[in-house]
Structure 1
Amino acid sequence: HDRDRFRITAYSCGEDDGSAMRRRLEGAFDRFVDLCPVDDAEAVRRIHGDEVDILVDLTGYTTGTRTAILAARPAPVQVNYLGFPGTMGADFIDYIIVDSIVAPPDQQPNFAERLVRLPHSYQANDTRRPIAAQRPSRSECGLPERGFVFCCFNNTFKITPILFDVWMRLLAMVPGSVLWLFQANDKVGDRLKAEAARRGVDPARLIFAARRDLPDHLARHDCADLFLDTLPYNAHTTASDALWAGLPVLTCRGGTFAGRVAASLLSAVGLPELITESREEYESLALALARDPARLAALRQKLRQNRHAAPLFDSAGFTRDLEAAYSRMWDTWCAGRCPEAFAVG
């Protein structure tokens, strides 16, 4: 951020895990305040005492939420951003930061907050995410050396029976292909393999990836051919990780914020041709790409070229747009006007 115009304070409500990311975050702000030891009332007192102008909630209704702090209105302008892909449904949140894909203007009646649309993707991305220099081989990942690798590292609770049907049909139509999934827990492998068998697919064609440190996780994307997104709840960070690692993502645009995030990311990285509008189109395009190595290779090359030029990973440009949004929010409050929806740029 432009420190001549903004003073940035972080209020942490999560436990200190001792990670390098935690240390990096602590050093990234003008002030880093740990609110874990204090109750909501004391947190409200501290934030109000710090004379915060704009309070941005990065958690929403997710793990570790402390919505009661915002309900007490410790800041004159309060914003819902990033952590929760939807409305808070609360009159104490003034704005939600979105883009024209995840929340088009006609969606305003479905949000308690005023929509603030950034010109590209709403999602901030970290261009300092390291990718391990040592890329694993397919065999090291438990994958066949030959054959098409469909991949989805989304949390498995996003996999619906209807979507799983699509994936099993793809395996049936692409001989030698496998589906590489994230092993979210000890039971998911057995259960999904049983579901594959029920659909007439050899369970051995489902392969599960254990949790890894982020650099190693990003590096193993190189072993996959195509990332298959989930619907109606898309990949979010998982999709941006795949794109950062150079793996094309195929999505189907949904009807809600949570189901349109991958479309936002693909648009911002210059790959709108990987956005489909129905399950049928999604299945058809996945099959076409699996059968056309040259077409898929061209998409991978385009992604490699766009990664350093497209808006999705332009941190400086994103920051300028976000600062423009905050400035207009503050100007609106200073002018005595009610929060109003607007677009940046």
Structure 2
Amino acid sequence: MELRPVGTSGLRVSRLGLGTMTWARDTTDEQARSLLEMFHEAGGTLVDTAAAYGAGDAERLIGRLVAEMGIRDDVVLATKAGFVIRDGERIVDTSRRALLRDLEGSLRRLGTDHVDLWQVHAWGDAPLAETLDAVDHAVAAGMVRYAGISNFVGWQTAQAATWQQAFPGRTPITSAQVEYSLLARRAEVEVLPAARAFGMGFFPWSPLGRGVLTGQYRAGTPRGSRAATDHFAWFVEPYLENRSRGVVEAVVRAAEGLDLLPLQVALLWVRDAPGVTAPLLGARTPGQLAPALAAEDQALPHEIASALDDVSGGPNAARPAAVGTRGA
């Protein structure tokens, strides 16, 4: 699999990442092993998780599998801190105490002395200086190699990056991670421009529109899908409205014309969009991951990518014009 630099840093990752939000919950241990083996064999390196996923169980599973497979040096382990779900309530705590406590727990569960990329999972109420001081401490202590942010809006992204650049010796913000797909293009307004301005890599989560862009919901809610579960129905429902249906149908038509799957068309649009480093694939089963990996050598024709831009919200101002159309 092709490797891409993460912004202007020296870190390089595969241009697809493996997301693990469902591991140790909807994804069984056996399925997780198969997913990691398939991903690794395809040349994938970026494995993204979080202390909050499965209340730490996803990290435990990753740590065990990576050790059993002997692939720690082959993978870029990325995790997050500062966000937990306690008694069904989402709690964001980005204080120094909470972040470093989360990191110590992540290292223990992952069975490693360091993580390659440590991300602040969400913007919190703690002073930004305190949050980023915890990041600096973790890097200086050797527990973290690179630092990133997740789910920050544009001004928050710029503020964090500016703060770290203000004085020599502070840890640069290497990457940003937010939702981005044909059904969620808000990142193009401020987050992606901020990432470009500060030399940051960009990791889109839910590049398949929370599963809706696969086309599986066109005739209803399939049994076994995320929308059919009590704990993920709320996550999918916002994309099951009329506007989304039009985008899904456009993806399906493009897939038919290109002899690809809708999943592959939606993924390729994100993977090769301007500013994107690596979409994070939240495949729950090997059968969902296989077609994504099979599209490694594919690319969307410029006119198809542009047409999908138009139907999903309008032209992407950062997308280069097709050859022969400049100045037209």
**TM-score, length basis structure 1:** 0.29
Larger radius of gyration: 1
